[in-house]
Amino acid sequence: MRLYHSIHSTCSQKVRLCLAEKGLAWEGVHLNLRQFDQVAPDFLAINPAGLVPVLDDRGTVIVESRIINEYLEDAYPDVALLPASASERARIRSLTRHIDVVISEAIKLPSFAKNIQPALQSQDRATVLSQIERIPDPAIQARWRMAATGTIDSTQYEDALSLLRHWLDELDGTLAQHAWLSGDRVGLADVDAAPFIQRLMRIDMAADVQARSHVLAWFTRYSQRPPFLTAMPVLGSESQVPIMA
Ligand SMILES: N[C@@H](CCC(=O)N[C@@H](CS)C(=O)NCC(=O)O)C(=O)O
């Protein structure tokens, strides 16, 4: 299996975590999103949307992290990450859908403000803006342009933080009742959520996570498991983490 991914990308982390939980071997093609590898013609030929992750499983090419993880669950069921019960599967899928559709979008602006904006400052402005023109989706282009020009919209930013805090409240409620988001053992809901909690810890929302005791206990427990240590970049030493798991 080949995974096109990026070390810092939460969506890539979801898939790396799923592969690690299932104990599956893979080879990585790493893209540096801050250098705009995602709009290189070779990569756009693989995913015209210009987004990671992309999984190529011996010729079956799949985009979208949630769909990739569902594919891995269907194709490699030996380590099951979804429970047997139809009602529990539906509950977990509503969590993973929310992460995919709402949380993955909401986290982008605060992440851009914290990580991408400073990274772009050190690059030549005209080159950066011309690379941004190559991004296929106009809304994604606009986000990059805000970071490149230091004009992140404060209302959009605050709205994103509110959504993220509301999600943390929901997770805290779920984790007050179950040891794991997926129930009594780790599953797809935990895999899909954990990278976003790690990101919140690193974009000045650590206090928000720490204020939710069940979320904090769950994340502390999960971040000590071997699959997490294999798949996720270690704080402060991202550049030393092997790109291929
Ligand atoms: N819904 C997609 C989102 C993919 C996505 O947004 N990927 C980001 C990294 S987390 C990316 O490739 N960004 C490139 C860009 O913004 O130009 C998924 O879950 O796979």
- Could you report the per-residue pLDDT of 197-241, keeping only the tens digit for each? 999 999 989 999 999 999 999 999 999 999 999 999 875 544 443
Residues whose CB falls within 8 Å of the CB of residue 176, separated by 6 or more in sequence, listed in order: 214
DSSP 108-139: HHHHIIIIIHHHHHTS-HHHHHHHHTT-S-HH
The CB of 39 under 6 Å from ligand 1? The reply is: no
The CB of 52 under 6 Å from ligand 1? The reply is: yes
Q: What is the mean pLDDT of residues 7-20?
A: 97
pTM: predicted TM-score of the whole model, two decimal places: 0.95
End-to-end CA distance of the chain: 12
Fold of 2-240: Glutathione S-transferase Yfyf (Class Pi); Chain A, domain 2 (1.20.1050)
The CB of 47 under 6 Å from ligand 1? The reply is: no
Tell me the per-residue pLDDT of 54-93, one tens digit each, with 9 for 90 and over.
999 999 999 999 999 999 999 999 999 999 999 999 999 9
How many other CB atoms are there within 10 angstroms of residue 161's CB atom?
18
Residue 114's pLDDT is what?
93
Distance 51 CA to ligand 1 centre (A): 5
Tell me the per-residue pLDDT of 138-179, one tens digit each, with 9 for 90 and over.
999 999 999 999 999 999 999 999 999 999 999 999 999 999
